[in-house]
Amino acid sequence: MRIDALDKSGLRSPLQRFLKLILRDKAGLFGVILFGFIIVVAVLAPYVAPHDPVQQNLRISRQPPAWHEDGSWEHPLGTDNLGRDMLSRIIYGSRVSLTVGFLGVVIASSIGLLLGMVAGYVGGRTDNIIMGVANLFLAIPYLLLVVVVAAVLGRSLLNVILIFGFTNAPLFVRITRGEVLRIRKSGYVESAIGLGASQARILFDHILPNLIGPLLTVATFEMSGMIFYEAGLGFLGLSVPPGIPSWGNMLAAGRQYIQFSPWIAAFPGLAIVCTSLSMNLLGDWLRDLLDPKIRRSAS
């Protein structure tokens, strides 16, 4: 007895399908392109920035953007209170933001993945203890932690990254644990046990690959959050030292000139908004793309 081969008539080709899938969510596509652009700019900062971001020139301080009657195309987005080129500073600032977001998420998700898998897979008392600690961590206000660390260890990029990494880990622990519990009950894990598979095989061949999708989505949203909060800390003077161009620092510096030279604060603000927005759109897009159920229906 044989059954027919898969009936493919009338079906779109894989390439058509992929294009349709991508083009379906226009906002998501916009997010992907915007985010890609920001990354390229950050990586190529020394080549695309028109000026040295820390080069001061008090003669041209607070020069308005180019389209203003007092502006010039030499400094398209104008200059800040010390005459530094705004565009160059924003380009270099993106490096700080993306570094914090990326490394913060890497640390948080690594811790989360490890502890979440242990909690979900081992279960019992181990699970209770890990989840208890994770909840305890969630209860600590991160701002307080930042202030204390900044006061004791000084302001540094590394400290900010570590704090974000650790304070966000509990979220990843939770999500990983939930997914592990779900996957562990699935038929294919049960079947693997029934086939005599080792624990390692079940964890790395069945559970881990199925965790990537949901974690990637959460990581995108969290990264956006971290970039946002880093700027907030910078604004409060708790992030990187003032010498390094970061969007938060720029925002703080522009605050006192907001009435007469609004661009000094406005452009870094706009950069923060754009980055956050692009990542949130990207996250939505990824979630839809990685969920086979949504992928099938809805045009």
Binding of another protein by 255 (CB under 8 A): no
Per CB under 8 A, which region of 91-99, 235-243, 254-262, 290-298 contacts another protein? 290-298
d(CA 16, CA 42): 33
Binding of another protein by 296 (CB under 8 A): yes
- Termini Cα distance of the chain: 38
Burial 269-297 (b: 16+ CB within 10 A, else e): bebbeebbbbbbbbbbbbbbbeeeeeeee
Of 17, 26, 68, 255, the residue at the interface with another protein (CB under 8 A) is 17
Of 37, 67, 188, 204, the residue at the interface with another protein (CB under 8 A) is 188
Binding of another protein by 191 (CB under 8 A): yes
Per CB under 8 A, which region of 169-177, 189-197, 221-229, 235-243 contacts another protein? 189-197
Binding of another protein by 26 (CB under 8 A): no
Residue closer to another protein, measured from CB, 130 or 271: 130
d(CA 88, CA 245): 9
Residues 111-130: x where in contact with another protein by CB under 8 A, - otherwise, as a string: --------------x--xx-
Of 201, 236, 270, 284, the residue at the interface with another protein (CB under 8 A) is 201
- 79 forms beta bridges with 85
Q: Which of residues 32-71 bind another protein (CB under 8 A)?
A: none
Say which residue the tokens 């994770």 belong to.
134
Residue closer to another protein, measured from CB, 74 or 291: 291
Minimum CB separation of residue 221 from another protein in Å reads: 23
Binding of another protein by 11 (CB under 8 A): yes
Minimum CB separation of residue 196 from another protein in Å reads: 3
* Token duo for residue 271: 């950069």
Enumerate the H helices of the chain as residue ranges: 14-24, 26-43, 45-48, 86-122, 124-139, 142-153, 157-184, 187-194, 199-201, 208-235, 247-255, 263-290, 292-296
Binding of another protein by 184 (CB under 8 A): no
Binding of another protein by 139 (CB under 8 A): no
Compute how many residues bind another protein; rule: CB under 8 A: 42
Say which residue the tokens 């949901």 belong to.
214
Longest dimension (CA), the chain: 88
Q: Which of residues 225-244 bind another protein (CB under 8 A)?
A: none
d(CA 12, CA 135): 47
Binding of another protein by 209 (CB under 8 A): yes
DSSP string, 14-80: HHHHHHHHHHH-HHHHHHHHHHHHHHHHHHTHHHH-SS-TT---GGGTTPPPTTSTT--TTSTT-B-
Minimum CB separation of residue 171 from another protein in Å reads: 20
Smallest CA-to-CA distance from 177 within 98, 253, 119 is with: 119
Quick count: other Cβ atoms within 10 Å of Cβ 135?
Answer: 12
d(CA 230, CA 249): 10
Binding of another protein by 152 (CB under 8 A): no
Binding of another protein by 206 (CB under 8 A): yes
Minimum CB separation of residue 133 from another protein in Å reads: 11
Residues in touch with another protein (CB under 8 A) = 1-12, 17, 20-21, 24, 125, 128-129, 132, 186-188, 190-198, 201, 206, 209-210, 292, 295-299
